[in-house]
Each structure stands twice: as C-alpha cells, then as structure tokens.
Structure 1
Amino acid sequence: MEIFVYVDTGKLPEFLAIQEDVLLRVDDIVESSGTGFAFPSQTNYISQDSGLDPERSRAAEAEVKLWRSKGD
C-alpha cells in the first residue's frame, strides 16, 4: 500500500499533527477491515547434531598440511 498526502503548511508542528492524524486514520481503517500491518521478524532454527567426524577432520587437516608444504 502506498499513500501520498500533500500538506500545505509551512509550520512543522502543524505538519506533524496532520501527519499523525492521517497515519492513525489509516491504521483505524486497516484494523476495522479485519487486518493489520506486518512487522519485521526473524526466525532462528536451532538444532543439535553429532558434530564433525573426527576421522574426516584429521584427513582434511592432513590434506591442508600437504597443500601448505607444497606451497599451494
């Protein structure tokens, strides 16, 4: 939803009051229609796994050491 409102005033306090009134009216209209506004959210998934396989870790470390010794 996109709303444009042009307010013809040079006074900041008057503009802010009109802006607040418009936004609250829009909120009332949206709520009275049975819906609402979405808020930013974040979902974190937490799991427990068995960790790294020690044998594969050792093999990977050995391979990296070999690369380093060769200068790769």
Structure 2
Amino acid sequence: MHLSHPTPLQNIMESKTCSRRGILLPFNSYSSHKKDAQHCIFCDTTFPLRNFKGKAVCPTCSQNILKLFLEREVR
C-alpha cells in the first residue's frame, strides 16, 4: 500500500537533502538600546555583561566576585 502523505522519517530525510534556507529575525538596532545600556555594578564597564542575581556584572568582576564582596565588608 502506498501512502499519499510522506511519513515523518521521509520528511526528515527530504529536509536534510534540501538546500539550507535562512530565516530573517527582526532585531532592534543598537542605537535604540544605547540609552538603556547597563553597566557593571562593580566597575561600571558596559560590555560584555553577565547576569548575577538580576544585576549586570562584567566577566572580570564575576570571576572575582567573592573577593569584591569581602573588600566591601572590610570597608
């Protein structure tokens, strides 16, 4: 018996043989985000940032976060 609709496995095989197609995703321009730029809460760096407990932290400060907290407690 011949099926008129391809099976899911046939769909996968056909999609692998098709040429790759791109999808365009809309992004807001950087200039629209410039006014909302976040800064590291420790050193005021703006790029690149990570999220630490809901706050923006640069990679350097995130690696030294324990030391930074201890320094603040001593003061």
Q: Above 0.5 in TM-score?
A: no
Q: Higher strand fraction: Structure 1 or Structure 2? A: 2
Structure exhibiting the larger radius of gyration computed from Cα positions? 1
Q: Higher helix fraction: Structure 1 or Structure 2? A: 1
If asked which structure has higher relative contact order (CA below 8 Å, sep 6+), I would say 2
Which TM-score applies when normalising by structure 1? 0.25
